[in-house]
Chains A and B, each alone.
Chain A
Amino acid sequence: MNVCYTDTLKTDCEDLLTRFQVTDSVRYEDFSALWREMKFSTIFHGKMGDVEKRNFSREALSTACHYFFPPYSFQIRVGALYLLYGLYNTQLCQPKEAIRLALKDWEEVEAFQQDVINAQHFDAAYILRKMFLTKVFHFTAMPHLLFYRIKQKMPHQEICEEFRDRTAKVNTLITTDALEEITNVHEHYQKMKCAISSDKTQPDKALSLIKQDLVSDLRNFALDFHEWQENRKRKLKHALKKEAHGMEEEKKEEEDGGGEGSSQVNESSVRAQMLEKIKSKSYGHVTEAPKSRRHRQVELESSGSGSDQGKVEKGGGKRRRLAEKGKKALKKYEVKHEVAMETDPQRLSMPMIAEEVDSDTKEVIPPPKRRRKR
């Protein structure tokens, strides 16, 4: 008698969220257009007993709620908010089945709300606030009901990879293993070059086609990025705390405005540790920059080595850069076409790895000048 809807609910929700992801927008208008196109409110139709109706509503809300939290990207989380709004209001039970919100997830919801307000997505902010005021949520201790069912394996909702936040993807790309492999290939390549050169100890000048310090550069970039992420997270958390204590105005000006996608706990700390491990192996040395770049030496400034000064400078520069970019990116609600820039966290505030931006920050390796001889 009891039909299990877990997998079908997952399919339908992901279907709608994928279509929303494709629109590259966070506007509720776009979402509701998709909702109407798919006739999503009919998901509650069909002859069902009261008990079944209630169980189904509860499961639908629980499935949609899963997409509302990290590690999903900001756009998916906004989509999940709209989806929850839709499902709650179109369900057929009386009294309505509520959405469960656990204590441990409150921080993330609050940070999300702050992100949305800072980025001036008025429709999302309005909907979230409306949901709070119409008492849509049950404030609970734990996210799900717990019955101590050790024998029955509860289906654990898996994370949909397509919706994962891209800011975590850098860390998954540049891992210990990947760097090790690249090093090995690099060394092998060097050896091959030496083997075919006239001087067996070093490769011919004519064969130097790539950057010599490729691996250490990659590692530096990854570490930089991770540190920058951590910094932003810390700043945002700090800003939230300060706000709670009433020092609203000052902090808002100081901190950046484009705060989407920054407030999430991700596995980057684990990656950082792995990267630290690589560093301690054989890349502790600093390669000397070529003669043409002597005025800009490479600085090792990751945690554990390098001068603190370098760190502080970099932090300050980055903050300034972010603040500028954030302010530029804050668009009014009416201007809808800038949506792409607003919602893309990487484009917004990812530190640009190019020379011309700032001169007082650490060395940024210029794009390699390739001398191709065909």
Chain B
Amino acid sequence: MAACSTAEANNEPDRNIPTYEIRDINSNVVHVGSIARLWRERLNRKYFSFDERDIDTSTEEDAAFGEEMGISAETMDEIKMICSLDTLKCHSEEETPDLELIPDDTSLACLKKRKKRLDYREETLIIDRICRNETYANEIHSLGVGKTPTHLEDQVEEGEIVLTMNILYPVISHQYKESKPLQMIQVLGSQKLTQLRDALCCVSDLQISGEFSNTPDLAVEHVSKDHFKSAFFYFEGVIYNDMRYPECKDLSKTILEWVESRERGYDRFQTAKMEDTTFNDLHIKIGYPYLYCHQGDCEHVVVITDIRIIHQDDCLDKTVYPLLRKKHWILSRKCAVCQMYIARWVTNDDCFAPADPCFFCDLCFRMLHYDSDGNKLGEFLAYPYVDPGIFN
């Protein structure tokens, strides 16, 4: 597909139309809000409006088409019949083919490949069980599909922009740093950046800091999220700080000073407030990695994978957005003793534990390390543990 048309005297290519900067990798810088405007200028409103599902307007539409083209009613009927969906049916009325079976005499390459794969699986399959990852994915998918709002004012506007973004694992995580995204979220163009920030779930937000071997009952007080409320987004040379609470600090100061200290090859970064910016105001490259930083040093790479106009099959309830579309299933760490409950404590230098560090559920932890009066037995350091699988 041609990336840009030859500039003609009476038709300059609009600079806001996104094109590839690097083919198949990312686009040039676009203003999110103008994408909606550009599409609205070009399209008939009916192409993206939300229909009443139970009203069938096809007869009126066909009649309008016939009038526009200047064809008679009989010709119109003929066209309708020729182009009807029945022409796509490959089996006669009596046959109801099993959708799961592939016929042996197929000529399609895809079916041959699929058949080979299915036959192979039949031979080698030992346990026939539904893939848990898929069940999980389906559950999440059903959260958002086709939801209509209870109140009309909660309905998304026609022509609203939907951004889809991948949030990757924190950079400090060893395993999935680059391959699997932690989650895929959809936001509306009219939503503020702070709404996205609140919807992002990272386990580092829930960490409880401090050593609690002497006072195990005081552990469940405040999580990191309450202590350290600052966060920022970085998009295309602008750092958006979360300044909603008085405790929030401007985390970007250090970075700005660093950029300005010498000739680093970057333009000066600017700052803005997260709570005052909506997604429609942003200038970004699609498919290009950006940053979300919270808790001072927990950094996530954010990639905006898609921007489009909302469709009537999407979730139409504004209150549900930012909507989680996909999440990586993380295996929870179980207690070393009972292997049943999820670990809530981790110990170091523990004389009772077989390994360092060692994970325990609450019950086993107390039974092993404290007597019936609550006195500490032996030497150890205990920290509350929040399992990354807590969001499953």
List residues of A whose CB falls within 8 A of some B CB.
Answer: 1, 3, 5, 7-9, 11-12, 15, 28-29, 32, 35-36, 38-51, 69-70, 86, 89-90, 92, 95-96, 98, 100, 102-107, 110, 117, 120, 122-123, 125-127, 129-130, 132-133, 135, 137-151, 154, 156, 234, 237-238, 241, 265, 269, 333-334
A140 CA to B161 CA, complexed, in Å: 9
29 contacts between A and B (CB under 8 A): A5-B110, A8-B110, A9-B109, A28-B82, A36-B88, A36-B89, A39-B91, A39-B108, A40-B108, A41-B90, A42-B90, A42-B106, A43-B111, A44-B99, A47-B100, A51-B138, A70-B2, A89-B85, A126-B62, A129-B65, A140-B306, A141-B30, A141-B306, A142-B18, A142-B286, A142-B306, A143-B1, A145-B164, A265-B5
A338 CA to B291 CA, complexed, in Å: 60
A29 CA to B81 CA, complexed, in Å: 10
A149 CA to B287 CA, complexed, in Å: 9
Using an 8 Å CB-CB cutoff, how does the interface string of B85-99 with A read, 1 for contact, 0 for none? 101111100000101
- Find residues 9-51 in chain B having any chain A CB closer than 8 Å to their own CB: 10-11, 17-20, 23-27, 30, 35, 38-39, 42-44, 46-48, 51
In the complex, are the beta carbons of A122 and B71 less than 8 A apart? Answer: yes
In the complex, are the beta carbons of B75 and A123 less than 8 A apart? Answer: no
A45 CA to B115 CA, complexed, in Å: 10
List residues of B whose CB falls within 8 A of some A CB.
Answer: 1-6, 8, 10-11, 17-20, 23-27, 30, 35, 38-39, 42-44, 46-48, 51, 61-62, 65, 69, 71, 75, 79-80, 82-83, 85, 87-91, 97, 99-103, 106-115, 117-118, 131, 134, 137-138, 141, 145-146, 164, 166, 178, 286-289, 303, 305-309, 311-313
| A127 partner residues in chain B, CB cutoff 8 A | 83
In the complex, are the beta carbons of B308 and A146 less than 8 A apart? Answer: no
| B141 partner residues in chain A, CB cutoff 8 A | 50
Given contacts A139-B48, A148-B26, contact A123 B85 (CB under 8 A): no
| A103 partner residues in chain B, CB cutoff 8 A | 17-18, 35, 38-39
A133 CA to B59 CA, complexed, in Å: 12
A110 CA to B43 CA, complexed, in Å: 10
| A238 partner residues in chain B, CB cutoff 8 A | 10
Shortest CB-to-CB span from B281 to chain A, Å, is: 16
Pick the contact of A86: B88, B110, B111 (CB < 8 A): B88
Pick the contact of A40: B44, B90, B118, B178 (CB < 8 A): B90
A117 CA to B65 CA, complexed, in Å: 11
Shortest CB-to-CB span from A344 to chain B, Å, is: 23
| B134 partner residues in chain A, CB cutoff 8 A | 49-51
In the complex, are the beta carbons of A138 and B27 less than 8 A apart? Answer: no
| B309 partner residues in chain A, CB cutoff 8 A | 138-140
In the complex, are the beta carbons of A92 and B99 less than 8 A apart? Answer: yes
| A11 partner residues in chain B, CB cutoff 8 A | 109
In the complex, are the beta carbons of A32 and B103 less than 8 A apart? Answer: no
A12 CA to B247 CA, complexed, in Å: 61
| A147 partner residues in chain B, CB cutoff 8 A | 166, 287, 303, 305
| B8 partner residues in chain A, CB cutoff 8 A | 234, 237
A36 CA to B131 CA, complexed, in Å: 35
A148 CA to B301 CA, complexed, in Å: 11
Shortest CB-to-CB span from A193 to chain B, Å, is: 44
Shortest CB-to-CB span from B325 to chain A, Å, is: 12
In the complex, are the beta carbons of B111 and A42 less than 8 A apart? Answer: yes
7 A-B pairs closest in CB distance: A146-B287, A8-B109, A140-B308, A32-B87, A141-B307, A39-B90, A95-B313
In the complex, are the beta carbons of A145 and B306 less than 8 A apart? Answer: yes
In the complex, are the beta carbons of B311 and A269 less than 8 A apart? Answer: no
A123 CA to B78 CA, complexed, in Å: 10
In the complex, are the beta carbons of B18 and A141 less than 8 A apart? Answer: yes
Shortest CB-to-CB span from B91 to chain A, Å, is: 8
Pick the contact of B5: A28, A90, A107 (CB < 8 A): A107
In the complex, are the beta carbons of B30 and A9 less than 8 A apart? Answer: no
Shortest CB-to-CB span from B140 to chain A, Å, is: 11
* CB-based nearest B residue for A138: B308
In the complex, are the beta carbons of B103 and A154 less than 8 A apart? Answer: no
Shortest CB-to-CB span from B3 to chain A, Å, is: 7
Shortest CB-to-CB span from B14 to chain A, Å, is: 9
Most chain B CB inside 10 Å of its own CB: which residue of A8, A96, A234: A8
| B69 partner residues in chain A, CB cutoff 8 A | 117, 120, 122, 125
Shortest CB-to-CB span from A188 to chain B, Å, is: 38
A70-B1, A146-B286, A150-B25 known; 11 new pairs, CB 8 Å cut-off, are A15-B107, A42-B90, A46-B111, A95-B313, A104-B4, A135-B312, A139-B43, A139-B309, A141-B308, A148-B287, A237-B11
In the complex, are the beta carbons of B287 and A241 less than 8 A apart? Answer: no
Most chain B CB inside 10 Å of its own CB: which residue of A104, A110, A132: A104
Shortest CB-to-CB span from A348 to chain B, Å, is: 20
A141 CA to B131 CA, complexed, in Å: 34
In the complex, are the beta carbons of B82 and A135 less than 8 A apart? Answer: no
In the complex, are the beta carbons of B3 and A132 less than 8 A apart? Answer: no
In the complex, are the beta carbons of B83 and A3 less than 8 A apart? Answer: no
| B138 partner residues in chain A, CB cutoff 8 A | 50-51
* CB-based nearest B residue for A155: B24
| B312 partner residues in chain A, CB cutoff 8 A | 135
Given contacts A117-B69, A133-B46, A265-B6, contact A144 B24 (CB under 8 A): yes
Most chain B CB inside 10 Å of its own CB: which residue of A15, A47, A130: A47
Shortest CB-to-CB span from A123 to chain B, Å, is: 6
Given contacts A103-B18, A135-B47, contact A8 B305 (CB under 8 A): no
Shortest CB-to-CB span from B305 to chain A, Å, is: 5
A141 CA to B39 CA, complexed, in Å: 9
Shortest CB-to-CB span from A359 to chain B, Å, is: 32
Given contacts A45-B111, A117-B69, contact A29 B90 (CB under 8 A): no
Shortest CB-to-CB span from B236 to chain A, Å, is: 14
A225 CA to B308 CA, complexed, in Å: 40
Shortest CB-to-CB span from B124 to chain A, Å, is: 12
* CB-based nearest B residue for A238: B10
| A145 partner residues in chain B, CB cutoff 8 A | 164, 305-306
In the complex, are the beta carbons of B27 and A142 less than 8 A apart? Answer: yes
* CB-based nearest B residue for A97: B313
In the complex, are the beta carbons of B38 and A45 less than 8 A apart? Answer: no
Shortest CB-to-CB span from A227 to chain B, Å, is: 14
In the complex, are the beta carbons of A133 and B110 less than 8 A apart? Answer: no
Shortest CB-to-CB span from A71 to chain B, Å, is: 9
In the complex, are the beta carbons of B18 and A135 less than 8 A apart? Answer: no
Shortest CB-to-CB span from A144 to chain B, Å, is: 7
* CB-based nearest B residue for A230: B6
Pick the contact of A141: B27, B42, B48, B313 (CB < 8 A): B27
| A48 partner residues in chain B, CB cutoff 8 A | 114
A44 CA to B51 CA, complexed, in Å: 28
In the complex, are the beta carbons of B101 and A45 less than 8 A apart? Answer: yes
| B286 partner residues in chain A, CB cutoff 8 A | 141-142, 146
In the complex, are the beta carbons of A42 and B3 less than 8 A apart? Answer: no
In the complex, are the beta carbons of B100 and A46 less than 8 A apart? Answer: yes
